[in-house]
Structure 1
Amino acid sequence: RRRLTEMEALHRAGQALLSARLDPEATYTAVHHAVTATMPCEAFAIVLEGEEEYRGVYLYDKGGRVPPRSIPKGQGLSGRVISTGQSVHIRDYSPESDIPAVHVGDPEPVRSILAVPIRQGERTIGMLTAQSYRPDAYDESHRIFLETLATQFAAILENTHLYEQTRARLREVETLYRSAQALSSLMTPQEIGRRLVDIMADHLEWHHVVIRRYNPSDETFDILAYHLPEETIEEQSAEILHHLRDAVPDSRSGLAGRAVREQRSLRVPDVTREAGYVPTFPGIRSGMYVPIRRGKDILGVISVESTRPNAFDEEDERLLNALAHHAAIALENARLYEKTQQQVRRLSMLHTIDSTITSSMDLRLTLNVILEQAIKGLEVDAACVLLYDPAAQTLHFAAGSGFKSDILKDVRLHLGEGYAGRVALERQPLYIAALSRDTGSLARAQRAAGERFVAYAAAPLIAKGEVKGVLEVFRRSPLEYNDEWKQFFQTLAQQAAIAIDSAQLFTSLQRSNIELTIAYDTTIESLVKALELRDKETEGHTKNVAELTIRLARAMGFEEEQLIHVRRGALLHDLGKIAVPDAILHKPGPLTEEEWEIMRRHPQYVYEFLSSIAYLRPALEIPYCHHEKWDGSGYPRGLKGEEIPLAARIFAVADVWDALTSDRPYRKAWPKEKALEYIRQQAGKHFDPQVVEIFLEVIKGRQ
């Protein structure tokens, strides 16, 4: 049950993380709630790695949030977990530990510490830690749960980062796309230059801008367009323009020339510290210098300068690079726009896969969704997943889509065998551009099957450091494996690995729970058999009355989950008689009042025996209350009417019916009609009238 609780917490956390993916604070809170719902956690922290330091982005201690804070890299618990990529489990912290005392917020050091790395692929990007002021608060299952949650969290962080990057890029490129349309309609370099200046004015703050055309034959510049400070008077413009032309006449001069020579953009926070800077206006402090390129050909350079130091940031530089690119090739803009749209589509595909992983534990369904998205997003014709069997050390076909034949359905590959076996063994992706030139078994088989695949790629599916399988994709025409394609391919492989790992973990937990339930019920039945061996008079009675009780409870609308507890309660109803002495239990004659007093205690005994066992607690209504009577004359507590639990009221009827219609050493079984009449007479006295009514209908149907 605990493992099921953990899986339910992971499922809820996955749903919460998915809905909060664009809100970091909500994401952190969802992770915290998942942890506190599953394990002891008085203190909690999420630490992420930055460029120069660690950042405690979410800190919680003793019932309240603690302000985020910076943590020096490599130090303390964070340094240990992030640098090694290994979980840390401290059962009872002592000052002699090689990790300094851990304080999330409270000055008192914690006692139990469980910290796991947050990994994205092979890289550790942070740490989740649950902590308690009690010693020995965590065990192995807590570690597995926290590591699984960290894997979910890492996937959400990665996808959120991609989503935010793509959104910013999309906003930028949408603006640039509109600009490129205007640029592409212009026919002269001067018009393009002037239009480019107008576009830049809407997005950048500057002192002045100059766009120079580059002449590769003599490495000189011509000024295409410029924008001078607002205070410049018309009479000064010609003189200033002449100065700008003379200051940077060719690619050997100034920072603009350097950008052309190095074929890269320059963003200079303080031009006064640059040896190659040629002054243009007094007071200039910072600048950007971006070449206008078409492939490897330099067409010109854009110079933007400001009187403020460090006036331009990475976004400005990116924008200017994009504008320069549009000015060179309008068609390139269309390509960039399509590229961004592709990123958006791929992100949507990742969202679809995320939703499937967090909403379903059906591995086949999840793999089919992943393969469908892989075929669309990677623009391939077919894809399949091979699962790894660690016992046999082989890969076997699990799911596929887009194939014309069944060439892979019976495949069995050992590690190192074939392309997929090699990928699994080496844990590295493989890209083959021309299967037609390959002589391997896969190439021969697919040609024989008429698949006519040209390109092939495979990536290992790795979760928590273990190989789960291989993702393979195929295309019937040539395929360019650029960096973005490879990154998306490997991201899909990571998603597939997470899905497989989650499904396998869920299956394992289900199997363990079933085995545990069977063990519990077998133990109960053994106890009942032991009791019946002691009390020969009631041999078989427990099983009969349990079956009838379940039938009555089902007829009265009990859910199947409730019936489990009803059955257990019926089986255990007389377990308290273990505490009754044999002299009383087996006495052939009538019991004395003192002996009856002892006998009537057996419901109290069974309650005392079993109430401390959590999984049996819901089943105690019958053992504890089956001798209570509707009119309040029963025992042990004299409950009356609906004060008596319904399950016990149902059992009381079944118990008396079976006792009356069964042979006993001291009497023969009553005829059924006589027993039915007795039960009718006891409605409203011993029995609940409604239960009696249902009982009579069930018995009638049974007969």
Structure 2
Amino acid sequence: MRLSFRVFLGYVAIIVPVIIASWIMGIAVPQIAIITLVAAIAALIASSILMYMLGRPIQELRRGVQRIAEGKFTSIQLQQAPSDLVALAGTFNQMVESLKGRDDQLQALNDELSRRLRELNALYEVSRSVNSSLDIQEVLRAILNETVKTFPTAQKGLIHLIDESGKRLIPIALSDTSRPLDPSMGMPIDQGIAGRVVRTRKPVTLSDTAQDPDFIDLGSNVRSLMVVPLMVGDNVIGALSLDSTTRNSFTSDMEEVFQSLANRAVIALENARLYSDSQKRVKELTSLYNSALSLSGEQSPDSLHEQLVQRATELLEAHSATLFLADHTLRTLKVVSSFNTAHEGAKLAYRFGEGVAGQVAQTAEPLIANALPADAGNGSTGTEAEGSLIAVPLIWENEVLGVLQIARRANQHGFEPADTRLLTLFAQQGASALENARLLSNQRRRTRQLALLNDLNRRFAAILNADMLMKEAVQGVAERFGYAIVNIGLLEGDWFVMKASSNPEASSLHSGTQRIGQEGIIGHVAATGQPYVANDVLSDPHYLSVFPDTQSELAVPILGKDGVLGVLDIQERHHNAFINNDVSIMQNLAVQLGIAIDNAHLFHAAQQRAEQLTKILEVTQDLRRQQQLELMLQKITDIVQQTLGWRTVLLAMLDLSTGTSAPVAVATDDEGLRESILLMPPRPASNAHWEEEQYRISQSYFVRGEELSYPEGDERLVRTEMGERKPWEWQSDDLLVIPIIGYTGPLGHLSVDDPVDRQRPTLEKIQVLEIFAHQAASAIEDARLIEELHLKTDALEEANKGLSRASQMKSEFLANMSHE
């Protein structure tokens, strides 16, 4: 219609000028009509031609515009069109090409925008998933699902993490929930594309997996692959993989977004790890608190040891535990308690530096040993193969009290530094508990020992027999204090002589002798007067083996009124048996024991002296009734032999006129010895070899055989062969001389030999002999006076008889003279 209107306008445009021109030119109306008709026809023809020439190109242009409106950017071709329209068509075609280019750009921008929106949406969903749950598997699956959605050509996503050994990649999450995680998806860290990404820490995109030799085909028909590393700071912890069954599904420009998603996965893993660590920390602190409560109560050392190993096993979710206590003297570790271990065939003690526990004791530092074989020499007390060990020292005031060792089986995960920190905290609590238990045990032990000491002291005070007292003491100390062997010995000269022992194997008390200051710990204590402790006798320079199996020895001096009286010796069959408190208690006991022994000796001496004095008084009265001097002298030796305990007694009397002394009486069971002594010639009384001040005891002279050398040609006054004797006993060459001194001076001396008790004389024994010698001297002088009186009486009687006869003769003479 628009074209007809345009033709009409064209027709009017032709006719109207023709009519106006004809009218002006004065042409007639008919002519004008003819002209007009002709013009109309011509205009119609012209308009038809014009319509044909302009309508088709315009229609083509209109259709081209419609195609552009429909988004079809195609060019138009005008044939038999005016040049202006052809030019217009060319311009139109240029515009179409320009619009097509812009549309392509716009489409590309739209596609990029859509992709960016998907990525941002995926990142948002991933971030929301990371923050919405603490279930790591749930979070990782959500991340993988969003990742797969972000890349429409992707088939599945997979996350690998490096295992504890750092040598293998372990699959932990898969986007395809219909498929379980297959361990075969794991791989050594030095193999596969994921292994390369972890090693190089750089992403890898494969358009065609068949072209890369590192690709491991697991039969899942993977043709394209994109892998990025999972980084925590500068450390790689694993890899995130995305695969597709079609080639060229991934390009390198996708790696940035994929890495962003991987970073969100890392955040999720870190959040889960932190949450797990915090939960584990709370659990650990709760366990530590509960352990501290359980360990802080009063309990025996054995019970505490069991608590330590059980609590430690529970704390680290381990299989077994062993507690070693350190012996710094021997530098060894001894097993005192274990949990879930088998001791058969296992060592119960280790040297410092031996095995895991020994190294910890030596260095005082924790130690982890993972992936150990059963025969690795690791210091385990179990017989099962153990996958890993962790050992920490129990330290108190910079001293290693022991080692706590925990073991896991091979199918359990190994120990980590966090386990070391936790077990170290527990070990600190354990060391404190052990020290508190030790102090409490020592205090209880001291209280018990003091009570026992008080009881023993009361019992000692009631016993006045020294031998019985010492036997009671060793049995009482052994039973009450629980010691293995208790010995008591006294000093006799230069020797320590055992007097009593709690050891039933000590068949002979006198077999336990040690030279003072030269032999054994006992000899050392006897010489120094100071207590001595050897908690490892084999390494002690003073130790002298007397009883087998002795490992520790404590010796304290028994002090009497005159100094060291003897030694209380205690022996144990294990190391480190004695502490300072034991020394203090035994010193107190030894002091009381010394007082009791002194009192017993004094009582025995007083009792014996009283008995002897009573006998001396009795026999002296008999002796005084004997008026014959020769019989009295023999009776004196018999009394000394029979009453005062000497088997051989010689009495030598001084002859003032010749200055010599000679045997006058002998008491002995050996008649031959008696005759040989009585046949001895008189000796000079002055300058006797035994009469020196160094041998003097009281008023007598005692010479030890080893100290006396006789002048050439001189002999013993009395010498009895006695066989072999102990060093502290009376010897064949010993000499004891008791001078017999009267009111007028020396009368002679007694020489005694071979005491009945086999002991060298004490001062008290010598003084008893001196008392008897004094009584004997008085009896001898009395006997001599009586003998002289008898002689003078006889002389006077003879003189009286002579005077009587003279008087009679005088009377007779006077009578005769008177008669005459």
Alignment TM class, shorter chain as reference: 0.3 to 0.5
Question: TM-score normalised to the size of structure 2?
Answer: 0.32
With normalisation by structure 1, the TM-score equals 0.37
State which structure, 1 or 2, has the greater radius of gyration over its C-alpha atoms.
Answer: 2
